[in-house]
A = this chain, B = another copy of it.
Amino acid sequence: MTVEFISVGTEILLGNIVNTNAAYLSERCAALGLSCYHQSVVGDNEERLEDAVRLALSRSDILILSGGLGPTKDDLTKEVTAKVFGKELYEDEHTKERIKDFFRRMQSGEVTPNNWKQAMVPEGAKVIDNHNGTAPGLIIEENGKTAILLPGPPNEIRPMFEQDVAPYLDRLEPEGIYSKMVKICGIGESKAETMIADLMDSQTNPTIAPYAKTGEVHLRVTAKAADEEKAEELLKPVVDELYRRFGDKIYTTEEDVTLEASIVKILAERGLTVTTAESCTGGLLAGRLMNVPGASDVYQEGYITYANDAKERLLGVKRETLMKYGAVSCQTAHEMARGAAGTAGADAALSVTGIAGPDGGTEEKPVGLVYVGCYVKGHVHVEEFRFTGNRDKNREYAVARALTLLREELLKN
């Protein structure tokens, strides 16, 4: 089966947004065993959209359209696709109720009339409820061709695809693609690739594809097989070999487990709590730990201490240390971690102090210099990093390295 994507929206043609939906749909459809040979983008224009829909349906079995389902007059995807299939639109009572309910839950007051446009659906179409927005997804099938219409916002299209579209597509394609995501922290991308170059060259089924994330490397191991059991037979020896090479640098082989989730799990299993004391990352590290549902079992409080006074008062960092070594120093990171654990009464603590940029650097302490401290049960370990990105990137790297350090220190114990 072949699949093709049309992303609808003038904002993509103008370059105002990057087309991440296309990348997401491509990756997911490849994983479902569908072949994709074409993608295109058209603006909110009736004639050009119609041409694009006709061309796509002439050469592919399945067409997935994203965007252009909203309440405004510019939104034409549904109208045009229905026209190509020769279908009329009717008002779907169920969707109307769902939209009403959505606005009620958001307490946004009255529903502006243009929203009812979104309750109009093509006759014979399957309606997919949107749990994160107003426009429903739609599936239209006819004469061996399928069009799937999905909303544009990533937080709407992704849950809808995972929950309803992926299972639907999975039934269409008998030979599936099965994969394991081997997630590694604490090793750089090029080193990781060098360590598995022989495997990547020799493997055809499964294949191994590396993806670099900030401070992590993810290896997707993908097998093509008739069913999950046969896929598992193919995947297991490769994943075992990766464990032999990377050892406990692998923090998970589950698609949806993040580094922070793997750490929260270790802490929860051991009945330990953690706290954070952040200077340059200013809450981002705590924010990432708190991404994990249930993080409240292991995290009770944390501190953002930008000013020296706050480091002294909240964390008990010695004024002498700040005067002698400076706020961005190994010694300060050390005292911040120990002090945070003490103030919070936590078993573990992470501290971050550094110069994120763009200003504040000196020759001796340049932008990108970051110290991360990690306290675990009485012992403090500090690491120095020199990042070379912009402010955002330096802070993001500092957070990733802090989490990696905490994981390593916990595994040592």
Contact = CB atoms under 8 A, between A and B. Distances in A.
A246 interface: no
A190 B114 contact: yes
Interface string A218-246: 00100000000000000000000000000
Interface stretch (A164-172, A303-311, A371-379, A403-411): A303-311
Contact of A390 (B27, B39, B159, B283): B159
Contact of A13 (B20, B39, B43, B191): B39
A301 B305 contact: yes
Contact of A18 (B20, B28, B132, B280): B20
Contact of A26 (B14, B25, B48, B115): B14
Contacts of A276: 283, 304
Given A39-B40, A282-B295, A301-B305, A211 B287 contact: no
Contacts of A284: 283-284, 287, 290
Contacts of A131: 388
Contact of A306 (B52, B283, B296, B307): B296
Copies in the complex: 2
A300 B306 contact: yes
A23 interface: yes
Interface in A1-20: 10-20
A382 to B, nearest CB: 15
A95 to B, nearest CB: 16
Contacts of A392: 155, 291
A36 B9 CA distance: 12
B27 A14 contact: yes
Interface string A154-190: 0100010000000000000000000000000000101
Given A39-B41, A287-B284, A387 B106 contact: yes
Nearest to A188: B108
Contacts of A45: 37
Interface string A266-295: 000000000010101111111101110111
Contacts of A27: 14-16
A388 B106 contact: yes
A391 B302 contact: no
A110 to B, nearest CB: 10
Which residue of A155, A283, A307 has the most chain B CB atoms within 10 A of its CB atom?
Answer: A283
A212 interface: yes
A307 B300 contact: yes
A343 to B, nearest CB: 9
A212 B132 CA distance: 14
A80 to B, nearest CB: 15
Contact of A114 (B194, B209, B285, B291): B194
Contacts of A17: 23, 211
A350 B71 CA distance: 34
Contacts of A100: none
B293 A301 contact: no
Nearest to A273: B307
9 contacts: A13-B26, A14-B30, A15-B26, A19-B19, A37-B42, A40-B40, A276-B283, A283-B285, A293-B358
Interface of A: 10-20, 22-30, 36-43, 45, 48, 52, 71-72, 102, 105-108, 112, 114-115, 131-132, 153, 155, 159, 188, 190-191, 193-194, 209, 211-212, 220, 276, 278, 280-287, 289-291, 293-296, 299-307, 309-310, 314, 344, 357-359, 368, 385-393, 395
